[in-house]
Amino acid sequence: MRLPILLALLTLGGPVAAGCLGSADLGAGVVARFASGDSALLRRGGDGAIVVEERRADGRPGMRLRAAHGVYVFEEVSLDAQGGPLPETLVGVVYPQAPLTLPPPAPGRGWSGMTTLRHATGPARSELTTVGFSQVPPLEIGDCAYRAVGVEVRYDWGKSGALRLRMAYLPELGAALLLSREPEGRPARGAVPVALERMGE
């Protein structure tokens, strides 16, 4: 279930250049498009987290997730062909503290701790989650150059393997875009963001 195309959050960023998107746009929704043809709709939830609904170009089922600070996913569920949630695929992620109190993305910060995956069907499973933030160059998307914070997330399941995600968090937008996904022992699969659009444009 660890297959998010994009993770996002709401925070207050700095000034936004004309024509470029900012955190205020997450109220109505923002569509992120990738070179692969995949896309994701981002919108702000009432609790301050971000709801992300992904769509895959190859027709495979998408996913809806909720994430605190765009990095700490605390709920995810697969979607059917009409975009409705499949209840039997629901997974809740329990942290040792309220997710929204975890450190927001900023260079030099990070967090590591045990989390518990609670599946709608099947037993719960523990994992070690490690998140690190670093300074990286701006990320150019279309005509906009967004300030970025590097994000690396690792989920470790012991003998069952691990998964590493590399992202760029954009402070002005308040979103962390997935750049690569690397299951342990397998090549990394990259994701190239090519456009950010206001919902309905």
Question: Can you give the CATH number for the domain in which 23 is found?
Answer: 2.40.360
**Confidence (pLDDT) at 18:** 54
**Confidence (pLDDT) at 8:** 40
**Confidence (pLDDT) at 17:** 54
Residue 166 lies in a domain: yes
Residue 74 lies in a domain: yes
Residue 93 lies in a domain: yes
Q: What is the pLDDT along the chain (201 residues), one digit of tens a residue?
A: 444 444 443 333 444 455 799 999 988 898 899 999 998 888 888 898 988 888 888 888 899 999 888 888 999 999 998 889 999 999 999 999 999 999 999 999 999 999 999 999 888 999 999 999 999 999 999 899 999 999 999 999 888 899 999 988 888 888 788 888 898 888 888 889 999 999 876
Number of separate domains in the chain: 1
On whether the CB atoms of residues 7 and 179 are closer than 8 A, the answer is no
By residue range, what is the domain housing residue 94? Answer: 6-198
A 10 A CB-CB count for 20 gives 18
Residue 33 lies in a domain: yes
On whether the CB atoms of residues 36 and 57 are closer than 8 A, the answer is yes
Helix and strand numbers, DSSP H then E, in the chain: 0, 16
Does the predicted TM-score (pTM) go above 0.85? no
